[in-house]
């Protein structure tokens, strides 16, 4: 504000006028002589310091000044009197008031010693005690602030409202791993780990609204490691506006890490307890549940939370009188762990307990061994069966070595358990006579890991043969590896003998039946054909004139029919002869070349008639163990067939030769005759009364007899033939009829 000050015209500037102004001005005006003695004091001294001007006139000014301020004031005044400067602003000094309190005065001193009207030093003073007090207080709070800020052991820093870190104390610098010089001027978010940023920004936003807040965060040390902070954000508010945000944070890394460790350990412990297959729970000293794992909760089918703090005996009155309750009390008293088993009929369970003491009560671990107990009982029964059964039982390990045999096995084989343990079943049950293929087969089956069953020859300790029905079952472990084999070795010798007898009987019956069928055929066809002719002719002849040609022809046919009937009967006789011959008893050593020569001679006239020749290529030692008559009959039949069915296109050639092959003798009869289409005739070739040529010769019995006689000798016959190319019959005489060392029986 500008004031236009115009002195009144009638104002006369008299000495009284000045004196009045000086005396009543609010400023304290004094005049000191050159010794420092008060010469003049304005009236305002009364309001400022409580004195009257008279109180102080003639007083030495330094007597009223605070001793601490005296030296500097003396210097100032000296400078003023001795130097060129006529006026100085004195530093504030403390002045003793009338009531003995110290008042701060601000003085301007003016050297007016030279002024003849004054002749002294004029001081203009103002009481600035209030200001000085305020200033002191400000300094003090600044000191407090500084102390709080810079020397705080906690982290303290100030951020602008945009989040820039403006100032921080040494703790911040130190914790973040920087030196004061290196400490970056940056946004706080750069220190916060990404995972914690969201929460940190949230807290910062809260602080920006003027609300202080606490939160946990984690910052990055310069070396990359983590530092956990427990922080408080305090907004600095002035006149309702947030100027800045202050943060005070505590390094909680150790605490946090310890916490994490404790948590991790607790989790680990929990996992261990949860991972246990055993049920586990704890009771406190008042028998209340204080802990339980899931197995335990599942066993009781209860919720763990519900059970906690419930007294076990109240919750499960059925435990009254159990061994379990008795043992719980025992452990609580003796502080010694116990182990025991108990069956709970109400729960239909068999449990095994371990109860141990701990400072808060007792710990109970239990496992449900019901299945195990049942299995044990089962095992006990099974082992009873295995040891007492009448079948032999062998148990081997994975290497097929005997671990155990039962009584029955020992009884049947004559071995004792001690003798066989550690040996392989194949070592003790076989002999040199055992077919190696049989052993190989069993090994192969075992290698496949599948159960097998076979009737095997088995030998007792004394070498006697027994027939055994052997079942071998592999037993695998959970990984599928075979760890054991179980052999059931049943003596079936008697059954086997019965079976063999039965087979023989069956075979005999089969042949009998075949014969019967054969006879049926012969009777219905071949025997009846001539009979039918005989019947027909006899009836016709009766009607004919006895002297006619027709009668003579009829009579001739009657005779032919009768002869044919006789032939069939004679065939039947031959067949019966082969059938009824004792197959083995009639055998003798037969020199093949001798028999073949005889046959060739007997058929020589037919050969000559047919314009044919026969070549015998047989060795001197071609010997057979056979029925000689059969060998003769076979060769006779084959050679006469060859003559009968010669080709009309060429001269007949019959070759008889022998080949030795693998301890057997092959005899071949080959012709170049009319041959046969084997595709058509093969099914009927060796059957009785089957003929393959329409000519007059042949009754269809020759090859049937050959086949029967070969069977009786124990040989095989095969044929190869093509129409108009010839026929080869191959007779194979197998072992044991012929051996490399000659004949044996």
Partner 1 sequence: MARKVYIIDDDDISIYLTSLVLEDAGFADEIHTYSSADDALAALSFTDTAPLPDVILLDLNMPVKSGWDFLEVLRPYEEKLKGKLDVFILTSSIAASDKNLSRNYPLVRGFLHKPLDEESLNYMKQTRNSRV
Rg (the chain; Cα; Å): 70
Rounded to 5 degrees, what angle do the CA atoms 441, 446, 447 make?
95
Q: Which of 553, 650, 722, 744 binds partner 1 (CB under 8 A)?
A: 553
Sequential DSSP letters for 251-273: E-HHHHHHHHHHHHHHHHHHHHH
Q: Which residue(s) pair with 155 in the sheet?
A: 249
Interatomic CA distance for residues 632 and 132, integer angstroms? 162
Q: Can residue 722 be called a binding residue for partner 1 (CB under 8 A)? A: no
Does 736 sit behind a cis peptide bond, omega within 30 degrees of 0 on the bond before it?
yes
Strand 715-722 with 726-733, pairing: antiparallel
Nearer to partner 1 (CB atom), residue 227 or residue 564: 564
Query: At closest approach, how far in Å is the CB of 575 from partner 1?
Result: 18
Q: Can residue 212 be called a binding residue for partner 1 (CB under 8 A)? A: no
Q: Can residue 698 be called a binding residue for partner 1 (CB under 8 A)? A: yes
Q: Which of 53, 177, 536, 714 binds partner 1 (CB under 8 A)?
A: 536
Residue 390 DSSP class: S
Q: Which of 528, 574, 613, 716 binds partner 1 (CB under 8 A)?
A: 528
Q: Can residue 560 be called a binding residue for partner 1 (CB under 8 A)? A: yes
Q: Can residue 721 be called a binding residue for partner 1 (CB under 8 A)? A: no
Q: Can residue 691 be called a binding residue for partner 1 (CB under 8 A)? A: yes
3-state secondary structure at position 429? helix
Q: Which of 531, 586, 653, 678 binds partner 1 (CB under 8 A)?
A: 531
Determine the distance from the C-alpha atom of residue 356 to the mean position of all C-alpha atoms in its chain, rounded to a whole number.
Answer: 35
Write out the H or E segment, with its range, that includes residue 725: none
Tell me the window of 231-239, 555-563, 702-710, 736-744 that interacts with partner 1 (CB under 8 A).
555-563
3-state secondary structure at position 368? strand
Q: Which of 106, 343, 533, 657 binds partner 1 (CB under 8 A)?
A: 533
Number of chain positions touching partner 1 (CB under 8 A)? 29
Q: Contact, 95 vs 49, CB < 8 A?
A: yes
Rounded to 5 degrees, what angle do the CA atoms 445, 449, 450 make?
70
Nearer to partner 1 (CB atom), residue 93 or residue 642: 642
Q: Contact, 91 vs 65, CB < 8 A?
A: no
Q: Which residue has tokens 């050639």?
A: 653
Q: Can residue 217 be called a binding residue for partner 1 (CB under 8 A)? A: no
Query: At closest approach, how far in Å is the CB of 540 from partner 1?
Result: 6
Residue 192 DSSP class: B
Q: Can residue 313 be called a binding residue for partner 1 (CB under 8 A)? A: no
Q: Can residue 425 be called a binding residue for partner 1 (CB under 8 A)? A: no
Query: At closest approach, how far in Å is the CB of 494 from partner 1?
Result: 43
Write out the H or E segment, with its range, that includes residue 171: helix 170-176
3-state secondary structure at position 172? helix
Q: Can residue 673 be called a binding residue for partner 1 (CB under 8 A)? A: no
Nearer to partner 1 (CB atom), residue 327 or residue 564: 564
How far apart, in Å, are the Cα atoms of 340 and each of 283, 322, 324, 353, 606?
A: 18, 12, 8, 5, 107
Query: At closest approach, how far in Å is the CB of 561 from partner 1?
Result: 6
User: In b/e form, how buried is each residue of 520-537, taking b as 16+ CB within 10 angstroms?
Assistant: eebeeebbeebbebbeeb
Nearer to partner 1 (CB atom), residue 456 or residue 688: 688
Rounded to 5 degrees, what angle do the CA atoms 216, 219, 225 make?
125
Interface mask toward partner 1 for 699-718; x: CB under 8 A: -x------------------
Q: Can residue 539 be called a binding residue for partner 1 (CB under 8 A)? A: yes
For residues 462-521, which are near partner 1 according to CB under 8 A?
A: 520-521
Q: Which of 483, 532, 659, 735 binds partner 1 (CB under 8 A)?
A: 532
Nearer to partner 1 (CB atom), residue 564 or residue 587: 564
Q: Contact, 732 vs 664, CB < 8 A?
A: yes
Nearer to partner 1 (CB atom), residue 351 or residue 565: 565
Alpha helical stretches, state H, 191-284: 194-208, 253-275
Q: Which of 543, 605, 649, 661 binds partner 1 (CB under 8 A)?
A: 543
Q: Which of 134, 450, 497, 535 binds partner 1 (CB under 8 A)?
A: 535
Sequential DSSP letters for 529-554: HHHHHHHHHHHHHHHS-TTSHHHHHH
Tell me the window of 7-15, 373-381, 416-424, 685-693 that interacts with partner 1 (CB under 8 A).
685-693
Nearer to partner 1 (CB atom), residue 457 or residue 691: 691
Q: Can residue 554 be called a binding residue for partner 1 (CB under 8 A)? A: yes
Strand ranges, E, within 115-187: 120-127, 155-160, 165-168
Nearer to partner 1 (CB atom), residue 614 or residue 688: 688
Site for partner 1, rule CB under 8 A: 520-521, 524-525, 528-529, 531-533, 535-537, 539-540, 543, 550, 553-554, 557, 560-561, 689-694, 698, 700
């Amino acid at each position: 504000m500008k004031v236009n000050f115009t002195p009144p015209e009638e104002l006369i500037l008299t000495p009284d006028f000045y004196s009045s102004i000086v005396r009543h001005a609010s400023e304290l005006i004094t005049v000191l002589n050159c010794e420092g003695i008060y010469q003049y004091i304005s009236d305002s001294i009364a309001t400022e310091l409580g004195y009257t001007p008279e109180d102080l006139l003639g007083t030495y000014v330094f007597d009223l000044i605070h001793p601490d301020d005296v030296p500097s004031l003396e210097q100032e005044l000296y400078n003023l009197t001795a130097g060129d400067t006529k006026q100085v602003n004195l530093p504030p000094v403390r002045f003793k008031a009338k009531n003995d309190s110290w008042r701060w005065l601000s003085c301007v001193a003016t050297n007016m010693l030279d002024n003849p009207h004054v002749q002294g030093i004029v001081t203009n003073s103002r009481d600035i005690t209030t200001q000085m007090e305020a200033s002191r207080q400000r300094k003090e709070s600044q000191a407090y602030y500084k102390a709080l800020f810079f020397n705080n052991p906690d982290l303290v820093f100030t951020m602008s409202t945009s989040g820039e870190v403006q100032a921080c104390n040494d703790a911040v610098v130190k914790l973040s791993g920087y030196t004061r010089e290196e400490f970056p001027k940056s946004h706080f978010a750069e220190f916060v780990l990404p995972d914690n940023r969201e929460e940190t920004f949230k807290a910062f936003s809260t602080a920006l609204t003027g609300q202080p807040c606490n939160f946990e965060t984690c910052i990055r040390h310069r070396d990359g490691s983590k530092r956990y902070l427990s922080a408080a954000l305090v907004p600095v508010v002035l006149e309702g506006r947030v100027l800045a945000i202050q943060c005070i944070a505590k390094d909680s890394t150790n605490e946090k890490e310890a916490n994490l460790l404790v948590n991790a350990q607790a989790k680990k412990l929990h996992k261990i307890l949860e991972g246990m297959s055993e049920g586990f729970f704890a009771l406190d000293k008042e028998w209340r549940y204080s802990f339980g794992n899931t197995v335990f909760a599942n066993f009781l089918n209860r919720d763990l939370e519900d059970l906690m703090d419930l007294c076990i005996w109240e919750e499960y009155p059925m435990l009254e009188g159990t061994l379990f309750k008795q043992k719980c009390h025992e452990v609580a008293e003796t502080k010694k762990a116990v182990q025991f088993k108990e069956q709970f009929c109400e729960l239909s369970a068999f449990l095994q307990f371990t109860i141990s003491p701990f400072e808060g009560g007792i710990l109970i671990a239990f496992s449900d061994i019901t299945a195990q107990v049942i299995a044990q009982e089962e095992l006990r029964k099974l082992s009873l069966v295995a040891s007492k059964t009448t079948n032999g039982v062998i148990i081997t390990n994975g290497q097929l070595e005997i671990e155990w045999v039962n009584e029955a096995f020992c009884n049947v084989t004559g071995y004792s358990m001690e003798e066989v343990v550690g040996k392989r079943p194949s070592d003790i049950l076989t002999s040199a006579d055992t077919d190696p293929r049989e052993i190989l087969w069993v090994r192969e089956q075992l290698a496949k890991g599948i159960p097998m069953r076979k009737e095997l020859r088995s030998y007792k300790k004394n070498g006697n043969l027994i027939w055994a029905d052997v079942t071998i079952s592999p037993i695998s472990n959970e990984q599928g590896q075979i760890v054991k084999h179980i052999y059931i070795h049943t003596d079936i010798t008697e059954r086997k003998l019965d079976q063999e007898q039965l087979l023989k009987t069956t075979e005999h019956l089969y042949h009998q039946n075949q014969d019967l069928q054969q006879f049926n055929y012969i009777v219905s066809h071949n025997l009846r054909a001539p009979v039918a002719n005989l019947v027909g002719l006899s009836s016709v002849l009766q009607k004919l004139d006895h002297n006619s040609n027709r009668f003579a022809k009829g009579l001739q046919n009657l005779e032919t029919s009768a002869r044919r009937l006789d032939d069939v009967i004679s065939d039947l006789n031959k067949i019966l002869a082969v059938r009824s011959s004792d197959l083995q008893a009639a055998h003798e050593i037969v020199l093949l070349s001798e028999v073949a020569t005889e046959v060739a001679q007997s058929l020589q006239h037919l050969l000559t008639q047919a314009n044919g020749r026969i070549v015998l290529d047989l060795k001197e030692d071609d010997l057979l163990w056979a029925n000689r008559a059969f060998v003769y009959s076979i060769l006779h039949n084959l050679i006469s067939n060859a003559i009968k069915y010669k080709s009309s296109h060429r001269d007949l050639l019959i070759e008889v030769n022998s080949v030795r092959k693998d301890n057997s003798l092959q005899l071949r009869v080959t012709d170049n005759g009319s041959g046969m289409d084997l595709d058509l005739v093969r099914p009927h070739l060796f059957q009785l009364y089957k003929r393959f040529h329409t000519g007059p010769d042949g009754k269809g019995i020759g090859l049937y007899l050959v086949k029967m006689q070969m069977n009786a000798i124990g040989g095989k016959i095969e044929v190869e033939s093509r129409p108009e190319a010839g026929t080869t019959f191959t007779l194979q005489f197998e072992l044991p009829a012929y051996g490399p060392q000659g004949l044996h029986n």
